[in-house]
Structure 1
Amino acid sequence: MASSMKKNRNKHHEQSPPAEEQLPMVDELRAAIGPLFGALQTYCSDACLSRYLRARNWCVKKSEKMLRESIKWRASYKPEAISWEEVAMESETGKVYRANFLDKFGRTVLIMRPSKQNTNCMDGQIKQLVFSMENAILNLPPNQEQMVWLIDFDGWTLSNSVPVKTARETATILQNHYPERLSLAILYNPPRIFEAFWLIVKPVLDPKTYQKVKFVYSKDAESLKLMDQLFDMDKLDFAFGGRHYEDFDFLEYQKRMLEDEIKREGYWNLGSKKSKS
């Protein structure tokens, strides 16, 4: 009987199971992965395990496989230990940065400007994006787990886009190791030529991630309604149809990131890290 109940519970769920069934599944997943230490123990909170379960439709076995892969990646890549100093140069042009405002639902906003790419180093580009994800998560308000991506295509062409290999690697990391962190990805005014690039990247995305991608056009009335529903237009950058006209200020952003270094080291219990002279 117990075995039958477990099998039924691990089947694909069209909807989340009742709240009283979720905690036992979190406990089951925690027991399956065994003891963890240091940053990995901090990472694998009950909320984190719930996100992996949601990402795999509350199938414990599939969630365990996904989580084990993330644990292996985090143990090797150590995303929580990436410092601002390591990604400052990649961040100079504002190609990826955390906005200094939240959306109307209290979600962190990551702004991406692909045309502002300033290096040819795939490893550096990915590291800067991972740093930005970690920073965005660190700055999520209480009781909020997800963020919004705003992607500005002004000036984007196939010649200045990131290589397909980088795009695929990025998509793999974000959807496999940051499950249920993305609420919406808004592609703002993508040019027609982007369709060719999108057709190459799209197969890498799982259905859940793909459904969160929204194409928004400034000349489309429905698109404008969506932006107004999501954002305070006085705070939203003019590049996205908002009324905020100040350009990205690297020095101001660097000041924010350096302040967050203390928060990051404290959260992960990393201790003080100072640059070697």
Structure 2
Amino acid sequence: MNNSDTKQSSSNGFEESLSPEEYLNKINEVRTLLGPSTEKSSEYCSDAAISRYLAARNGHVKKATKMLKETLKWRTHYKPDEIRWEEIAREAETGKIYRANCTDKYGRTVLVMRPSCQNTKSTKGQIRFLVYCMENAILNLPDDQEQMVWLIEFQGFNMSHISLKVSRETAHVLQEHYPERLGLAILYNPPKIFEPFWKIVKPFLEPKTCNKVKFVYSDDNLSKTVLEDLFDMEQLEVAFGGKNSDSSFNFEKYAERMREDDLKFFGNTTVSSTSAHFTNSDSEVSDSEKKQLEDKEIIKNGTSESPLDTTNLKPEA
């Protein structure tokens, strides 16, 4: 993308009240306030990107600039673009989040989420996996789209499958660092027990985000039109009322897809040293694996006084 890229996502409505000249002036004001950028950071400061931050802050230049600066700082330290499949593969084993084979009628990437398939307890590991999925979904967006769709399916769900802490951190990361990336979130057949949780989570979300959340029930013909209007039902998974019975999650096939994406977008699938460090500290490991890590650390340090504590390691900045 370059600075002349002014393509907009469908929900960036703040510019509709501005003339084209006023709209471009706001973008240029943000760019001026940001100051000189590195080649790396300029990648995330295109006109389209700045527009999303302006939309998230209702056209307020200084607030949008501050928000974008925080994201650039976060990207420098968290390194979301360096996360590779092999680092987060364990989080993906059950298909709790994956990129669907199909897009919606607008060509937008679709992320399928299944809360009942939660398979780990590490907040950091779960968030890092989510970030990988977001980055991958964005890389797979067509040139004329800035947003994606989430399909959230609740079969087998109970309250033990979700964490308020993870939900709050998820809302923070997505709203602060991926503004205006969500086009629509469809909650498919959420059970009654989900309603109290939704009431708790809702205050953490921007009103604009809440308006993008749609509840769809398989026994409600009116709500089902949300899916029918958005998808080719021949391509949509059977689990969401579609007719495609061949699109259910298969970990081996999905792993192959993600490795191919890593290779296509980054040229290699090697986990960086920072990511490897993060992997050891924040993914759940078995007792035998932890013992092996401890033994390696003891050998490395030449002492047995302080075995490796995998719960307190921090990723390198």
- Mark the runs of 5 or more structure 2 residues left unpaired by the alignment: 1-13, 274-317
Name the residue aligned to 2:266. 265
Q: Take 2:18 and 2:81, find their aligned partners in 1: how far apart are those partners?
A: 31
What amino acid maps onto 2:81 in structure 1? E
Name the residue aligned to 1:236. 236
Normalised TM-score (structure 1): 0.89
Name the residue aligned to 1:138. 139
Shift in Å at residue 56 of structure 1?
1.2
Name the residue aligned to 2:168. 168
Q: Take 1:38 and 1:131, find their aligned partners in 2: how far apart are those partners?
A: 22
Q: Deviations over 1:161-200 (max 9, x none)?
A: 2210001100111111111111000001000010111111
For the residue of structure 2 that corresponds to 1:70, the secondary structure is: helix
Q: Take 1:245 and 1:134, find their aligned partners in 2: how far apart are those partners?
A: 27
Name the residue aligned to 1:274. 270
Contact 2:84 2:270 in 1 (8 A): no
Q: Take 2:32 and 2:196, find their aligned partners in 1: how far apart are those partners?
A: 45
Q: Which structure has the larger Rg?
A: 2
Q: Deviations over 1:132-187 (max 9, x none)?
A: 0000000001111110000001111002x221000110011111111111100000
For the residue of structure 2 that corresponds to 1:88, the secondary structure is: helix
Name the residue aligned to 2:53. 52
* C-alpha RMSD of the superposition: 1.7
For the residue of structure 2 that corresponds to 1:111, the secondary structure is: strand
Contact 1:90 1:128 in 2 (8 A): yes
Name the residue aligned to 1:90. 91
State the identity %. Answer: 57
Q: How many residues align?
A: 259
Shift in Å at residue 38 of structure 1?
4.1
Name the residue aligned to 1:252. 253
Name the residue aligned to 2:295. none
Question: Which aligned pairs between 1:160-239 and structure 2 lie closer than 5 A?
Answer: 161-239=161-239
Distance 1:273 1:236, change over 3 A: closer
What amino acid maps onto 1:274 in structure 2? T
- Mark the runs of 5 or more structure 1 residues left unpaired by the alignment: 1-12, 267-271
Distance 1:261 1:240, change over 3 A: same
Question: Which aligned pairs between 1:80-119 and structure 2 lie closer than 5 A?
Answer: 80-119=81-120
For the residue of structure 1 that corresponds to 2:37, the secondary structure is: coil
Q: Take 2:215 and 2:86, find their aligned partners in 1: how far apart are those partners?
A: 34
Normalised TM-score (structure 2): 0.78
Q: Take 1:203 and 1:107, find their aligned partners in 2: how far apart are those partners?
A: 27
